[in-house]
Amino acid sequence: MHVEYDESRHLDAFLAVADALEEAFPRVLVDGNDARALARESPREGSFEVVVCDRVDAADDGEDEALASVVGKTAAFSALAAGRPPTALEVIEAVERLATAEELGVDDGFSSGTGCG
């Protein structure tokens, strides 16, 4: 999963949402403000955009959480559209609607090709 967020406004919200998602879905990694996922140099002002990634290709630099590319992003929440950052519960519920149990790693058939970051 990836979150684009305005660090000056939403750093605490990002940390809370990332912690809640990783606790709810232990096999899912949450990454924030990675330029390769943003497709821009910096996050947009006021942003808190949560996306579920269909596939993440790891970078070849030895960093476990580094992204080489993100494929097939689906928006789970947009602060730019809603006018406010989400609560952790809102994001968890949105992710549950968008992803299967297998993709989230909450059943026996975990697929290593899912998650973000």
Report pLDDT digits (tens) over 82-96. Answer: 999 999 999 999 988
Which alpha helices (H) appear in the chain, and where do they start and end? 7-24, 35-38, 79-82, 88-98, 101-104
Q: Distance (Å, rounded) from C-alpha 104 to C-alpha 98?
A: 10
Binned at pLDDT 50, 70 and 90, residue 97 comes out as confident
Count of CB atoms situated within 10 Å of the CB of 112? 7
Instruction: Check pLDDT > 70 for residue 3.
Output: yes
Over residues 18-36, the mean pLDDT reads 88
Report pLDDT digits (tens) over 40-85. Answer: 888 999 999 998 876 555 555 555 444 444 555 678 899 999 999 9
- Sheet strands side by side (includes 67-78): 31-32, 2-5, 48-58, 67-78
Report pLDDT digits (tens) over 10-22. Answer: 999 999 999 999 9
Q: Is residue 14 classed exposed, middle or buried when 0-12, 13-18 and 19+ CB atoms within 10 A define those classes?
A: buried
Domain segments of the chain as ranges: 2-104
Asked if CATH classification 3.40.50 holds for the domain at 2-104, the reply, yes or no, is: no
Query: Tell me, what's the pLDDT at 114?
Result: 44
